[in-house]
């Protein structure tokens, strides 16, 4: 009875305070008009107030509208009524696997956490977590995916996907799993094998990104922090905010890189076997800090969290400070903008047309703590000589309408080698397919960088944050 009364009081307090507080927080945040993107952003000074910005874009239906794409491209939905689609995997025969679900079990620490959680939930889909893998099939290759089946279910918030070695690998919120795979199968042959457990005790950041090396020997898993900036203490950050390298056969793992607050998507660079990640950075030091980013991930590299950001910019909130770690913090390759919530990354191919042949597509889920909102789109970062070069380009937009309401929220992005960009939208619960038409199709690509030797495996290290 006591527990029930306490919950009731909390619910009543939340219902009473959320609308007024949301308005107040949005009003006090101002309306900044810069996003600080690119290879060398000139970052502003940190700003801290009584409350962080909370600005939610409320959901609405697409109706007859579609996302906007560049001239020479068209977009269409190929699957709807999914149960929170996150990441996708194109299988060798062209089938598409979709990981569906929502995880996380971090307790709320303060009244601010409770209120922020309620406000954030208003901007998300209200469907139940799928906890499954759905397979989509276009049997005749006409771009219509008429086949649909549940490949596997009863999974604990599946997110990262990879294939190789006759297997499909799935990173759930607390384990790395392997399904045997025969090309053309529409259902898993049986229960998955657990390769290794993944950190999942609190799971403030629950998503576990996944990719595989070109030779299939190693799997790489992105593991997010258990807090914004260590407010839960350093003990819960053991084995967090890092990328693991895992032997695909034995499950033996070692730390590959650290200081990555929340690496939400991983991709291996074609022809180079170089690992790249998009990372969600820390909150509550201003609408323009800290930029989420795209970066190459070096073996043994340290990327700053929690002690610094974008190289040697010290975060004064963290105690104790560790200047020896800050001194070797690596600045990321490309700033995507603060609070855009990048959740997807995929290298392009020449089949996507000349302008978008060499670079990466990035799915931006959209902000909940910036005014005006940012993200809610798929962008393209052009590459030259194997690195980001030039300004980021909007590729798929309109997920955030001019009325300020969200019609969709991009998560995973995947390039189909046959010539299409796939976008998982976990608000509309839809998979979108973007294809070149006319002059964009078959245009010559910018030459790719020469292949490089795979990076050597680093020695196991202890996480700096721990």
Least confident of 80-84, 105-109, 276-280: 105-109
| Tokens at 429, concatenated | 């619960």
Give the residue among 461, 444, 450 at the shortest CA–CA distance from 274.
450
Average pLDDT of the residues of the chain: 88
Q: How far is CA 393 from the centre of its chain?
A: 18
Dump pLDDT digits (tens) for 325-365.
999 999 999 999 999 999 999 999 999 999 999 999 999 99
Give the confidence band of 439 by pLDDT, cuts at 50, 70, 90. low
Q: Could you please report the per-residue DSSP string of 64-90?
A: T---B--TTEEEEEEE-S-S-EEEEEE
In this prediction, residue 282 carries a pLDDT of 97
- pTM, to two decimals: 0.88
- Looking at per-residue pLDDT, the higher value among 118 and 192 belongs to 192
pLDDT for position 105: 82
pLDDT at 384 over 50: yes
**Is residue 29 over pLDDT 80?**
no
The CATH number, out of the four listed (2.60.120.10, 2.120.10.30, 2.60.120.260, 3.90.1300.10), of the domain defined by the range 56-109+128-440: 2.120.10.30
Write down the domain spans for the chain.
56-109+128-440
Indicate whether 442 pLDDT > 90: no
Per residue in 223-261, pLDDT tens? 999 999 999 999 999 999 999 999 999 999 999 999 999
CA distances from 209 to 49, 264, 279, 344, 460 (A): 33, 5, 11, 9, 20
Q: To which H or E segment does residue 383 belong?
A: strand 377-384
Confidence of residue 440 (pLDDT cuts 50, 70, 90): low
39-84 tens-digit pLDDT:
999 999 999 877 778 898 999 999 999 999 999 999 999 999 999 9
pLDDT at 7 over 60: no
């Amino acid at each position: 009875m006591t527990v029930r009364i306490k919950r009731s009081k909390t619910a009543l307090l939340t219902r009473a305070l959320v609308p007024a507080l949301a308005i107040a927080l949005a009003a006090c945040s101002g309306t900044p008009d810069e996003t600080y993107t690119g290879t060398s952003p000139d970052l502003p000074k940190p700003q801290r107030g009584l409350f962080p910005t909370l600005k939610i874009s409320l959901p609405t239906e697409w109706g007859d509208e579609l996302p906007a794409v560049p001239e020479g491209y068209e977009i269409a939905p190929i699957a709807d009524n999914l149960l929170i689609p996150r990441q996708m995997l194109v299988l060798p025969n062209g089938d598409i696997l979709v990981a569906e679900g929502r995880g996380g079990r971090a307790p709320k620490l303060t009244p601010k956490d409770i209120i922020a959680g309620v406000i954030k939930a208003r901007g998300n889909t209200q469907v139940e977590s799928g906890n499954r893998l759905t397979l989509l099939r276009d049997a005749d290759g006409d771009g219509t995916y008429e086949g649909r089946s549940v490949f596997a279910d009863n999974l604990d918030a599946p997110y990262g996907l990879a294939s190789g070695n006759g297997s499909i690998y799935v990173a759930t919120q607390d384990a790395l799993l392997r399904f045997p795979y025969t090309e053309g199968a529409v259902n898993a042959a049986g229960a998955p094998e657990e390769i290794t457990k993944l950190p999942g005790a609190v799971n403030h950041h629950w998503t576990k990104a996944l990719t595989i090396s070109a030779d299939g020997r190693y799997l790489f898993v992105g593991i997010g922090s258990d807090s914004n900036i260590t407010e839960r203490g350093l003990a819960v950050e053991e084995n967090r905010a890092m990328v693991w390298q895992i032997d695909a056969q034995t499950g033996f793992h070692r730390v590959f890189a650290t200081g990555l607050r929340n690496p939400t998507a991983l991709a291996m660079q074609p022809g180079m076997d170089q690992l790249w990640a998009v990372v969600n950075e820390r909150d509550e030091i201003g609408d323009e800090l800290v930029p989420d980013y795209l970066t190459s991930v070096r073996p043994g590299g340290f990327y700053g969290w929690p002690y610094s950001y974008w190289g040697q910019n010290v975060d004064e909130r963290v105690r104790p400070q560790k200047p020896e770690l800050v001194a070797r913090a690596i600045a990321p390759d490309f700033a995507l903008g603060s609070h855009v919530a990048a959740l997807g990354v995929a290298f392009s191919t020449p089949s996507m047309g000349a302008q978008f042949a060499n670079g990466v597509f990035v799915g931006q889920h959209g902000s909940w703590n910036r005014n005006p909102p940012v993200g809610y789109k798929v962008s393209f970062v052009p590459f030259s000589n194997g690195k980001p070069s030039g300004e980021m380009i909007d590729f798929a937009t309109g997920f955030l309408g001019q009325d300020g309401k969200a019609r969709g929220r991009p998560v995973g992005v995947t390039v189909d080698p046959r010539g299409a960009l796939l976008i998982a939208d976990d608000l509309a619960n839809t998979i979108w397919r973007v294809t070149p038409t006319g002059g964009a199709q078959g245009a010559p690509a910018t030459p790719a960088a020469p292949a490089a030797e795979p990076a050597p495996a680093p020695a196991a290290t202890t996480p700096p944050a721990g």
